[in-house]
Amino acid sequence: MFAQPDEINDFVDELYAFVRAVLTEGGEPADYHKGAVQVVDAHMRLFVLLDNHGTDEQLGIVALRELCRIDELTLEMVPDRMKMKALAHDWLRPF
């Protein structure tokens, strides 16, 4: 059984907002940010910011910079919905 498209889109919207807020509040570009996002509960949209942590997909942890892409107009790192959507398929899978 796979996650429904609405559930995936809702997850991506929430994760996108979380990552954007972290980048806005942190004041440093994503490519210099050493933090990571841990998905505590994908279905309930519970995320935690971890300091100085790399990616560990088995624990639902992804480095913040890996959730971003380079904006072609500004050349800044911005949250990437497509990367988040790809990860959502794994995180929203029923156990």
Q: What is the pTM of this model?
A: 0.87
pLDDT for 95: 54
Q: How far apart are CA 24 and CA 78, in angstroms?
A: 10
pLDDT for 62: 95
| Residue among 57, 74, 53 at smallest CA distance from 65 | 53
pLDDT for 90: 83
pLDDT for 76: 87
| Residue among 87, 52, 83 at smallest CA distance from 69 | 83
Task: Tell me the CA distances in angstroms from 51 to 35, 71, 95, one per residue in order.
Answer: 4, 24, 28
Tokens describing residue 93 = 């899978």
Which stretches of the chain score pLDDT less than 50? none
Domain ranges of the chain: 5-91
- Report DSSP letters for 17-28, one per residue: HHHHHHHHHH-S
